[in-house]
């Protein structure tokens, strides 16, 4: 009998993926992390004990090799975290076909192709899947229609997998983070803040000024939810879409101007 369950975490070299690898290893999992760049993967591997594999999840050959390597090394696949994602900015009228196709390929087609290869192993293990969506999948965010659409598609893909494979013991859920302190968010808010004469910390404060918790998440706070969803403690949670956003999307935008705790002039 195997002592430890085995998980693959895509986009495991930074941000939520790296934090998820750490959380799972702490919980006793064997973890394979993948990404396009070796150096971030090596750093996370050294810090956590995860096994790094350079793989582009938009490549069918890389996906096949990733799953094959995982099963050969650890003997099974019990969990899958679909975390790899990209964002390209631009309204529909200006977003290029290339940027649209890059987001579809990375955020939606890649997860689909990886699932197709991994599903037989997950059925055998009665395993679990977590897709990392976004609050932008649940509420449209301006200037990123491709990201909104592909992350919404990922949510529905997870629910479809839950419906189709739940009878065979496979669970599939999605977490939808709001603002999280990651490398990608730091870059986005640094650029956003610069246009307003704000530094990055001021930009984070402004971006989360209407969030009930009044702050962004740390990557570990999202990772802990993912680890729970993969665990037996969430054995009856299936097809769920869980916001991990500090309450952001629960608020009524029309009431913000009436909330005396918020300085509207600073939003």
- Please list the active-site residues: 147
Residue 251: is it exposed, middle or buried by C-beta count within 10 angstroms (0-12/13-18/19+)? middle
User: 193-225 burial by CB neighbour count: b if 16+ within 10 A, else e?
Assistant: beeeebebeebbbbbbbbbeeeebbebbbbbbb
**Rounded CA gap, 65 and 250, in Å?**
41
| Phi and psi angles of residue 252, each rounded to the nearest 5 degrees, phi first | -90, 110
Identify whether the C-beta of residue 34 lies closer than 8 Å to the C-beta of residue 237.
no
The first and second tokens of residue 224, run together, are 């802990």
**Rounded CA gap, 233 and 65, in Å?**
31
**Rounded CA gap, 31 and 6, in Å?**
6
Identify whether the C-beta of residue 184 lies closer than 8 Å to the C-beta of residue 171.
no
The first and second tokens of residue 75, run together, are 């003997």
Residue 104's CB: how many other CB atoms inside 10 A? 16
The contacts of residue 5 (CB under 8 Å, 6+ apart) are 28, 29, 30, 76, 78, 79, 125, 127, 230
Identify whether the C-beta of residue 142 lies closer than 8 Å to the C-beta of residue 207.
no
């Amino acid at each position: 009998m195997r002592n430890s369950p085995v998980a693959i975490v895509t986009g495991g070299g930074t941000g939520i993926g790296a934090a998820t690898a750490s959380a799972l290893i702490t919980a006793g999992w064997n973890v394979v992390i993948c990404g396009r760049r070796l150096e971030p993967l090596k750093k996370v591997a050294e810090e956590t004990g995860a096994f790094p594999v350079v793989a582009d999840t938009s490549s069918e050959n890389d996906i096949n090799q990733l799953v094959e390597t995982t099963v050969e090394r650890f003997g099974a696949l019990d969990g899958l975290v679909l975390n790899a994602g990209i964002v390209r900015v631009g309204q529909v009228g200006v977003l290029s076909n290339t940027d649209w196709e890059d987001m579809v390929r990375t955020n939606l087609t890649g997860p689909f192709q990886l699932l197709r290869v991994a599903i037989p192993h997950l059925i055998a293990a009665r395993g679990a899947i977590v897709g990392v969506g976004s609050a932008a999948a649940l509420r449209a965010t301006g200037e990123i229609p491709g990201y909104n659409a592909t992350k919404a598609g990922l949510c529905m893909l997870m629910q479809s997998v839950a419906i189709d494979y739940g009878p065979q013991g496979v669970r599939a859920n999605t977490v939808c983070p709001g603002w999280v302190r990651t490398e990608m968010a730091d870059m986005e808010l640094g650029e956003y803040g610069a246009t307003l004469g704000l530094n990055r910390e001021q930009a984070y404060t402004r971006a989360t000024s209407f969030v009930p918790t009044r702050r962004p998440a740390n990557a570990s706070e999202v990772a802990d939810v993912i680890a729970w969803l993969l665990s037996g403690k969430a054995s009856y949670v299936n097809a769920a879409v869980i916001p991990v956003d500090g309450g952001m999307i629960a608020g009524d935008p029309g009431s913000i101007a009436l909330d005396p705790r918020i300085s509207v002039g600073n939003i």
